[in-house]
Amino acid sequence: MAAPTIDHRGPTFQTLTFDVLRGLASVLRTSHPVVIYPASGTGAWEAALANTLSPGDRVLMYETGHFSTLWKKIADSLGLKPQFLQGDWRHGVNAAQMEAELAADTQHAIKAVCVVHNETSTGVTSNIAAVRLAIDAANHPALLLVDTISSLGSMEYRHDEWGVDVTVGASQKGLMLPPGLSFNAVSDKALAARRSATLPVSYWDWEPILAANEKGFFPYTPATNLMFGLREALVMLEAEGLENVFSRHARHAEATRRAVRAWQFEVLCANPAEYSSALTAVMMPEGHDGSKVLETALRSFDMSLGVGLGRLMGKVFRIGHLGDFNDLTLIGTLGGVEMGLAVAGIPHQGGGVDAAMAYLVECARSDG
């Protein structure tokens, strides 16, 4: 990241572009093009909609939590007509319900289905393959747009195999970079939709970017230093092996849940098949405010936990366990939570760290 800013019109940058595009495609499991934006993930959300849709288009979205709600608001801002299926913030998308909605849309007014793969506000994942099957079962031509911002590089994700049309990703979670880069992986069908879409696009326009990318360049100034960092991050992921990275995250998530249960707290995610490997949201006991845990953890142990977002404000706190994280960082983190609960005077059982350690020991032994 500290490499001097280089000329983004020279051959060194060209090589960087090709390396990064190849690496991203590999992490996204796609043979289709990936577009890189010098922007936060929010920009890539907007890009996915603006490139493929026209004013007034209906989009089917599912309320999995705070971030799906934000994506829905972007659709509103752009003049789309989101149909927002209500959820309880404890489950992923209900694919059967989606299928019913799509089947009912015999006029094919719905132009796109938008799903968040890993809800950062809840620690609940959605089954993307099941959504694909639902669309196909309804024989519906809608595009499938998926947000993988907080799962990319931490959990399995398969753009091509799952039939996703636009995948939205970003740099600052599983790719372990600072924020400032985001991505769209784009299917042939999405590229075709681009050509007929009439929402105004300029910065987010895929076409000039894909054209310039063919020569290793960008139509406007790319975030060069973040691109260097991204190449490093992709090399590190490849060196560890994606499967190993995913199983490391799964191990830490399971250890975290065992700690949560030992504390006699409840994991927000209600369906074990939908547990997130990237973070765990923990429900506060009735009458206790999660923000007190956060304040105590920050003040006493200089540890940042995730606040409850949107309607979960005060009701949960979130433990992140993604990116450059090892067993001992996890134990330190869980220790910080357990001590924070004690200092804050939140009623709980001890033994959470012990439970997590017991699980990690078991894993280490079977590795052995």
Q: Which of residues 163-182 bind a second copy (CB under 8 A)?
A: 170, 172, 177-180
The residue within the footprint of a second copy, chosen from 36, 48, 199, 279 (CB under 8 A), is 199
Q: Give the Cα separation of 73 and 79 in Å (integer).
A: 10
Q: Which two tokens stand for residue 40?
A: 């936060």
The Cα 203–Cα 219 span in angstroms is: 9
Residue 311 is a binding residue for a second copy (CB under 8 A): no
Among 124, 134, 152, 223, binds a second copy (CB under 8 A): 223
Is 59 or 303 the residue whose CB approaches a second copy more closely? 303
The reply on whether position 210 binds a second copy by CB under 8 A is no
- Nearest CA among 221, 210, 352, 225 for reference residue 280: 352
Near a second copy by CB under 8 A, which window of 130-138, 151-159, 272-280, 355-363?
355-363
Question: Which helix (H) or strand (E) segment is 318 a member of?
Answer: strand 316-320
What is the rounded CA–CA span in Å between residue 270 and residue 129? 20
Asked whether position 300 contacts a second copy by CB under 8 A, the answer is yes
Judged by CB under 8 A, the stretch of 106-114, 262-270, 277-285, 293-301 that binds a second copy is 293-301
Q: What is the CA radius of gyration of the chain?
A: 21
Given the rule CB under 8 A, which of 74-82, 100-108, 130-138, 266-274 is the region that contacts a second copy? 74-82
Report 335-354 residues binding a second copy (CB under 8 A): 335-336, 338-339, 342-343, 350-351, 353-354
Q: Is 313 in the site for a second copy (CB under 8 A)?
A: no
Q: Which of 107, 196, 287, 302 is the binder for a second copy (CB under 8 A)?
A: 302
Q: Which stretch binds a second copy (CB under 8 A): 38-46, 91-99, 123-131, 159-167?
A: 38-46
Residue for token pair 């006029």: 107
* Cβ-contact 162, 29 below 8 angstroms: no
Helix, strand or coil for residue 334? helix
Is residue 86 part of the contact set for a second copy (CB under 8 A)?
no
User: Which residues have C-beta within 8 Å of that of residue 332, sequence separation ≥ 6?
Assistant: none
Map tokens 């360049």 to a residue. 217
